[in-house]
Chains A and B, each alone.
Chain A
Amino acid sequence: MKKYFSRRYLGIPYMVFLILFVIVPVLVILYYALTNGEGQFTLSNLFGFFSSGYAIGTLVYSIFIASVVTLVCLLLAYPAAYILAKGRIRKSNVLLLLFITPMWINFTLRITALKEVLTAIEGNISYYPFLNTIIGMTYDFLPFMILPLYTTISKLDDTLSEAAQDLGAGSAKVFLKVTLPLSVPGIISGIMMVFLPAMTNYVILDMLYNSTFIMGSLIGSYFAAYDWHNGSMISIILLFIILLVNIVTGSFTDDGAGRRRAVL
């Protein structure tokens, strides 16, 4: 019998990649997280994390920074994305490109440049370390918030806001009752794209704050000290936090499919 080429085979390279670089590493991390130096199963890494004041403090502070950055990004990105998507601007795609272009410049170079700019403005960046960190992260993550918002908002049907006006809603009500609820999928995927990187990005904190009080640094410090077990456990804990955030935000919209589409 002749064998035909099945479309399924096209998925093989990706499957190999997925197994080698995603599934196996996660299993390895899981193994290290749940074992001690002698290779025996233990939960002490987990309890160790929650009994360490420094680790908990880092976690809380990381969540705080990530929340502030996500909020600032959202407040900046939503109006921008809205105007890009719905405003009657000619060449709005060129404007969108301008928002995205920084992503194409090397990350370290970008932050170094920002550091110079902030120094020029503030005199010495160590005067406002927290503010500078927020500015740096917002600058870095803003495109990740704008893109999903832009995609969602530009797909909104204009006749829906016309229908709302027709039923007696002024522009503020149209926004609150129709536009905003319908852009929730974009908001959520924007949050997902910004929150986790903001929680673990230690480079910006290091360069603009001269601090390592963030989850990324914490994990890094364990691995630097060859304590793979505790480092892995913290990674797993972070993974669970993200899953939790995903589930919580997911409950705001019951259109799960729409949200997943926006994430993709």
Chain B
Amino acid sequence: MDNIIELKGIGKSYNSKDYIVRDINLTVKKGEFVTLLGPSGCGKTTTLRMIAGFETPTEGSILFEGKDISKVPPYLRPVNTVFQRYALFPHLNVYNNIAFGLNLKKLPKKEIAEKVSRVLDIVDMEGFEKRKINTLSGGQQQRIAIARAIVNEPEILLLDEPLGALDLKMRKEMQLELKQMHENIGITFIYVTHDQEEALTMSDKIVVMADGAIQQTGTPEEVYNEPSNAFVADFIGESNIFNGVMSGNMKVKFLGAEFECLDDIEKGAKVDVVVRPEDIVMVPYDEGKVKGEVISVIFKGIHYEITVQSGKNEIVVQRTKAAVIGDKVGITLDPDSIHCMKREKNVNRFEGVLTKKGTVMFADGEFECNVSMLYPGSEVDEEGNLTDSEGNIIEYAGTSVIAEISFDDIRMSDDADEGGVCGNIFSLIYKGDHYNYIIKTENGYEYILNDEYLWNENDYVSIVIPKEAIKLMHMDSEV
């Protein structure tokens, strides 16, 4: 199979600073069903609109069968789009909506009529030719929108959350029908959705996006079973995510016990451990590697969702058998149900500069710090000057430094003036006994911190770092 479309280093920014998407690399094979999946604002729709031609990438190129089409206007591209709100023409009836593209190509009337009736058959809407758009239900409009796109026999069909406006039952039906349609007509589908279940059901390949960048590309099984980072694990399916440490060859320690696993990561590495709720086995108290107490049981239809408290950690378990709140239970895990991911960052690390006031400025913020830790043997004299062991004043203002702050030492506050910088909560992931937060400042710097309590996504918070928690190092001491 050949690559039909290739995105090479695509980026889009309006002022070359704030990127909507950046460095998107993606190849789509002919006939594939590819889904761009991510939360709203992750750049998936922008990526789709760049393929359709409604937006021009500011960086990189889009290749169609090897030819650069980045600058080709939308009406000359061999792609058709199914829009989120259908975008059917209200002044035309069903027939003329579908025939719109064919009329522009000036095909003979007879051929147009044949093609229209054929696609109406495909989308199961025979006999609706004369109907007006505003007399159709949402699901019917959806079908007409699909028919209008596929009647042009595009090389690629782009679908921008096409099922978003339908109710649950209709959506499930349409998912299967779309997949069937994809198999029958054999054209390439690029599908955008924020619904992970939809993506898992329909796709050959899923591209998980967040914050304008691709997090992982893979088959539905790959992204579900082997998520590449905690974000993907949290976004796709339900997950227990714990902090762990590799304790030996294919051994990982978390929840106070050591488990065999299948991931080969060097000993001592700090990892995120993902365990799917349905993979956890509940056993009698004495037989469990991890012991705990059932604190909640929720009936979910096909299964029970049971929360087990073990020490400070909460473990979510799904199984078909109920449990009783207050029961003491044990938990075991198979090696293949444990997925370890090496953490990209274990500590906040910023480049900064010291000021005259004895503070350090980094990542949009200014914080009090203990400058004397930079100069062994120095101390602050009664006039507030920093002196070395011989009593000479050290001029430190303007010195470039590296500042390191552990995740646990940063605190969030509602009071905007309390901390050294303010930002919005960009992501939060529950990790058994605490939440892991990423706070983004105005200029896009990220502070990562752990907090026991639940804050809301997008909350505006100020970041408080105690003086002693900022570990300063000379810039050149970095290896």
Contact = CB atoms under 8 A, between A and B. Distances in A.
Interface of A: 157, 159-160, 162-170, 173, 177-178, 181-182, 184, 255
B87 interface: yes
B83 A163 contact: yes
Given A162-B54, A162-B83, A163-B83, A169 B75 contact: yes
B257 interface: no
Contacts of B101: 167-168
Nearest to B54: A162
The listed residue with most B CB atoms (<10 A of its CB), out of A165, A170, A182, is A165
Interface of A is mostly: helix
- Interchain residue pairs A-B with the least CB separation, the first 7: A167-B101, A163-B87, A159-B87, A165-B74, A168-B104, A166-B81, A181-B91
B376 to A, nearest CB: 58
B73 interface: yes
A166 B80 contact: yes
20 contacts: A162-B54, A162-B83, A162-B87, A163-B81, A163-B83, A163-B89, A165-B54, A165-B73, A166-B74, A167-B100, A168-B101, A168-B105, A169-B75, A170-B73, A178-B89, A181-B91, A182-B90, A182-B91, A255-B90, A255-B91
Contacts of A182: 89-91
B89 A166 contact: no
A173 B79 CA distance: 18
Nearest to A159: B87
B271 to A, nearest CB: 45
The listed residue with most A CB atoms (<10 A of its CB), out of B74, B85, B101, is B74
Interface residues of B, number: 25
The listed residue with most B CB atoms (<10 A of its CB), out of A163, A168, A170, is A163
Contacts of B54: 162, 165
A166 B52 contact: yes
A166 B84 CA distance: 14
A157 B87 CA distance: 8
A181 B100 CA distance: 14
Contacts of A255: 90-91
Nearest to A184: B91
Interface in B98-120: 100-101, 104-105
A255 to B, nearest CB: 8
Contacts of A157: 85, 87
B152 interface: yes
B148 interface: yes
Given A159-B83, A173-B104, A166 B91 contact: no
A255 B91 CA distance: 8
